[in-house]
Amino acid sequence: MSEPFSNAGGIGPYTPSIVGGTGTTTKIFPSLLGPGFGNGGNPLSSVPGSTKPAIPVVAAATPAALVTIPGTGQYEQQAISVSCSGFVFVHGTSPTLNFLFQQGTSLTSGSNTTMATLASAQSLTTNASYPFAFNCRIQADSVSGVMQVYSGVFVCNGVSGSLTLTDLTGINLTTTNYSFVFGVTFGVSDATNVGVLSQFSLTAA
């Protein structure tokens, strides 16, 4: 099995990125490190457990958690696997969940370009936690300028929904780095909603 060539800022089961709280706009997972070491989107001393974590206060100017394909040409025309996983806790009346996998670097989803999302949000039972995982493959060719996304699947609580996948154009992996972010969208605003991302990586397939 190949090792990932890009991991999002050391995110893992002992150091997840966490979002949550009120609001129904997409919450992009933040970097762990923030503008200064140790003051990003999560304390660096968390331990996996059976209870949902507290929602951290994200320091101003904290960047998004990123995975990046370097623009050196080494991944030109290569199939690349994207892996994201974690869990969510949802609350409120008739909660739903969606996700965004985007090309870009911003914590504001509207500033990035969406490559994958559920065609319609998934309905969940309130006051409960659910595991999620997203996987897809991306591949780019600088002659055509197309970065295609395929074999996408998002599973939450054992249910996989239909995805909307969008290719990119104007791509050149021989000259430009391309970064990606991941976020979740809670359909019902509730202060106790939590999203935890414990894996975000790119692997040469």
Would strands 67-69 and 178-186 be described as parallel, antiparallel, or unpaired? antiparallel
pLDDT of 1 higher than 80: no
pLDDT of 39 higher than 50: no
How many CB atoms sit inside 10 A of residue 91's CB?
A: 18
Q: What is the pLDDT of residues 129-151, one digit of tens each?
A: 999 999 999 999 999 999 999 99
Model confidence at 192, in pLDDT bands (50, 70, 90)? very high
pLDDT at 35: 57
The token duo for 70 is 């370097």
pLDDT at 142: 95
pLDDT of 126 higher than 50: yes
The token duo for 49 is 């457990």
Q: What is the pLDDT of residues 55-66, one digit of tens each?
A: 877 777 889 999
Q: Report, in this order, helix, strand and coil percent for the chain, each rounded to 5.
A: 0, 45, 55
pLDDT of 51 higher than 80: no
pLDDT at 34: 62
pLDDT at 69: 97
Q: What is the pLDDT of residues 146-176, one digit of tens each?
A: 999 999 999 999 999 999 999 999 999 999 9
Of 100, 115, 84, the closest CA to residue 201 belongs to: 84
